[in-house]
Amino acid sequence: MPSLKDLRNRITSVKATRKITKAMQMVAAAKLRRAQEVATAARPYADRMDQMIASLGSRITDKSAAPLIAGTGRDDVHLLIVMTGERGLAGGFNSNIAKLARQDAQRLLAQGKTVKMLMVGRKGAEALRREFGKYYIDRIDLRAVRQIAFANADEIAQKVLNLYESGGFDVATLYFAEFKSVIKQQPVALQLIPAKLPAVKRAAGGAEAIHEYEPSEEEVLGDLVTLNISTQIFRGLLENVASFYGAQMSAMDSATRNAGEMIDKLTLKYNRTRQAMITKELIEIISGAEAL
């Protein structure tokens, strides 16, 4: 049975932990609102970009004008771009993204494909290093970045494009967590190269507007598809930031409540132990008095 001193030390330790988790919860809640607004604002732009590319792609018969849409014609070498957080204490945020990437990597290897991994974020790299470390081709560290900007996404996109132009892979897939709510972050696998075009949305009723492009449609499409790589990566980074703070806020809230419950249990145990010791001392005093 632990002594009263041990119980007091444990209660003090858990109270200190609760202060830390409560502070982290409040910080995450403060940062979540801004991150959520930025991630939500980026979605319409990315979706509209997809629609514009799909519209242009449907008008062009020669897909070779846009190599990022046509692809290499093979699917032998796959590049997995796994984006996770730089820090932990965020529940299952990092592990869920790593789990999805792990499942796809195992499936591709079982099919005899070649797998390469570009790791963005420390936690994902650590989670997959033991099993897939030999497939890493690069790791991008964003710990020094205070606020995600388009330049960060463009840097990653340029690495991917340079590798593709040198024949380094056939298919590139991006992994990140899409922010749904504070308690739900959905891991997503988005194929970047060759780009998967969504169905073109037609206006309801009336004739479709006719657009003329300068320069040619092929050149515009090629530039848009290249820009879309950076756009989708930027969106993934913003979604990850919002998802991280949402997951961390939820995790720290649970940790704070668990610490409170543990303090209550330890306090009850402390009081019972103390009462038992007092009762035992009284019995010893009474027994000694009766013996005299």
Write out the residue range of the structural domain in which residue 184 sits: 30-205+212-251
- Cβ proximity of 80 and 104 under 8 Å: yes
Q: Does residue 25 lie in a domain region?
A: no
Whose CA is closest to 42, among 150, 115, 133? Answer: 150
| Residue 2 backbone zone (phi > 0: left; psi -120 to 50: alpha; other: beta) | beta
Judge if 40 and 14 occupy the same domain.
Answer: no
Judge if 258 and 187 occupy the same domain.
Answer: no
Judge if 132 and 274 occupy the same domain.
Answer: no
Judge if 232 and 263 occupy the same domain.
Answer: no
Rounded to an integer, the average pLDDT of 238-256 is: 91
Which 3 state secondary structure label does DSSP give 119? strand
Residue 92 burial class via C-beta count within 10 angstroms: exposed 0-12, middle 13-18, buried 19 and up? middle
Q: CATH number of the domain that 277 lies in?
A: 1.10.287.80
- Give the single-character DSSP code of 135: G
Omega before 215 within 30 of 0, i.e. cis: yes
In the prediction, which pLDDT does 63 show? 56
Q: CATH number of the domain that 148 lies in?
A: 3.40.1380.10
Judge if 124 and 110 occupy the same domain.
Answer: yes
Judge if 247 and 271 occupy the same domain.
Answer: no
Judge if 75 and 197 occupy the same domain.
Answer: yes
Digit-coded pLDDT (tens) for 51-90: 777 777 666 666 555 677 777 888 889 999 999 988 888 8
> In 84-127, where do the E strands start and end?
114-120
Task: Indicate the residue type of 291.
Answer: A
Judge if 153 and 273 occupy the same domain.
Answer: no
Judge if 142 and 272 occupy the same domain.
Answer: no
Of the listed ranges 30-39, 219-228, 261-270, the least confidently predicted one is 219-228
Rounded to an integer, the average pLDDT of 171-197 is: 87
- Rounded CA-CA distance 95/55 in Å is 37
Judge if 200 and 269 occupy the same domain.
Answer: no
- Rounded CA-CA distance 222/66 in Å is 5
Q: Does residue 167 lie in a domain region?
A: yes
Judge if 61 and 184 occupy the same domain.
Answer: yes
In the prediction, which pLDDT does 138 show? 87
Judge if 86 and 183 occupy the same domain.
Answer: yes
Domain count, the chain: 2
Query: 140-171 burial by CB neighbour count: b if 16+ within 10 A, else e?
Result: bebeeeeebeeebbbebbebbbebbeeeebbb
Higher pLDDT, 105 or 58: 105
Length of the chain: 292
Q: How many CA atoms lie within 13 A of 213 on its CB side?
A: 15
Residue 38's pLDDT band (cuts 50, 70, 90): confident
- Rounded CA-CA distance 193/167 in Å is 12
